[in-house]
Amino acid sequence: MEPESGPDSPSSAGKRAGRLYVVGLGPGSRDLMVPAARDALEKASHIIGYETYVRLAGPFRSDQQLHGSDNRVELDRAAHAFALAAQGEDVAIVSSGDPGVFAMASAVLEALDNATDDRWRRVDLVIVPGVTAAQSVAMRAGAPLGHDFCIISLSDNLKPWEVIEKRLSLAAQADFVIGLYNPISKARPWQLGRAFQLLLETRAPQTPVILGRDIDRDGETLTVTSLGEVHPKQVDMRTCVIVGSSATRLIKRADGGVWVYTPRFYSLNPDPHQG
């Protein structure tokens, strides 16, 4: 951890505990950041997070201190934030999307759960939500999340791959729309292909699949394909994948594209044209 004391830093003695905001930045642009998040970013004297997200959260004033760090040190970051807030500082710790979805809010609460410093428990903790990746992909594609859905991270860094396979299979059997986060990386090259294979065991090849990459950021792309045609090469870590349920449908758009939606109703024969 970086030392926080400097010539200008206030003494920690006798000060109230500070506030720790855990802020969701949304998918990318300031437009899709909730007003409470903008407010928190203004009020905080310290901004902590993965460098890319700290940059995304800006611009900041010269009196605000930025603490960018590597992506894989969530618990250190949380401890750093608590240490500052316990001294009376107001701190914002930032995540992309929603901080409660595969992101910093859980890391912050894990740190609090294991805290040995009682001052951490007096920190005024505020979680500020954000538009999560699946929602931002959905808003571009239409309404694929219009009925029951689930979100699964394909990363096996923090859970065994067997658990992921089990969840995929059961979610497919239960006919959920499935959002896949952290779909593929250099260290995890084959898992996404295996996931598609598992889903194809219960779901038809024509099931719509949406690939949203860098949504609401520069270079955004949206691809609508199908479970039978999608290839893991079309996907990277900056992509969120949504796999439709048996009820998910396409509508042709006047501009040549398609809308993807999942109807609100569901029957044992989910195709309204057959029932």
- Where does this chain bind ligand SAH (CB under 6 A)? 27-28, 95-98, 101-103, 132-133, 136, 181-183, 212-217, 237-240
State the chain's maximal CA–CA distance in angstroms: 74
CA 21 – CA 104 distance, rounded (Å)? 11
**Cα(137)–Cα(242) distance, integer angstroms:** 8
Nearest distance, CB of residue 8 and ligand SAH, angstroms: 33
Rounded Cα–Cα distance for residues 68 and 54 (Å): 6
Closest CB to ligand SAH among 17 and 152? 152
What are φ and ψ of residue 37, in 5° steps?
A: -70, -45
Which residue, 44 or 192, has its beta carbon nearer to ligand SAH?
192
Positive/negative CA dihedral, 129, 167, 72, 18: positive
Q: Tokens 């894990």 sit at which residue? A: 110
Residue 96 C-beta: closest distance to ligand SAH, Å: 5
Residues 118 and 110: their CA atoms lie apart, in Å, by 15
Q: How far is the CB of 80 from ligand SAH (least distance, A)?
A: 19
CA atoms within 13 A on the CB side of 15: 16
CA torsion 186→158→69→236, rounded to 10°? 30
- Going by DSSP bridges, is the β-strand pair 249-252/258-261 parallel, antiparallel, or unpaired? antiparallel
Judged by beta carbon, residue 75 or residue 237, the one nearer ligand SAH is 237
Q: Whose Cβ is closer to ligand SAH: residue 86's or residue 141's?
A: 141
Is the peptide bond prior to 59 cis by the omega test (within 30 degrees of 0)?
A: yes
Q: How far is the CB of 6 from ligand SAH (least distance, A)?
A: 31
User: What residues contact residue 15 under an 8 Å CB cut-off, 6+ apart?
Assistant: 87, 88
Q: Which CB, 82 or 181, lies closer to ligand SAH?
A: 181
Closer of 4 and 236 to ligand SAH (Cβ) = 236
User: Which CB atom, from 71 or from 269, has the smaller least distance to ligand SAH?
Assistant: 71
CB of 241 to ligand SAH, least distance (A): 7
Residue 213 CB, nearest approach to ligand SAH (Å): 6
User: What is the closest distance, in whole angstroms, from the C-beta atom of residue 176 to ligand SAH in the complex?
Assistant: 17
Tokens of 227: 């479970």
Taking CB positions, which residue lies at the least distance from ligand SAH? Answer: 97
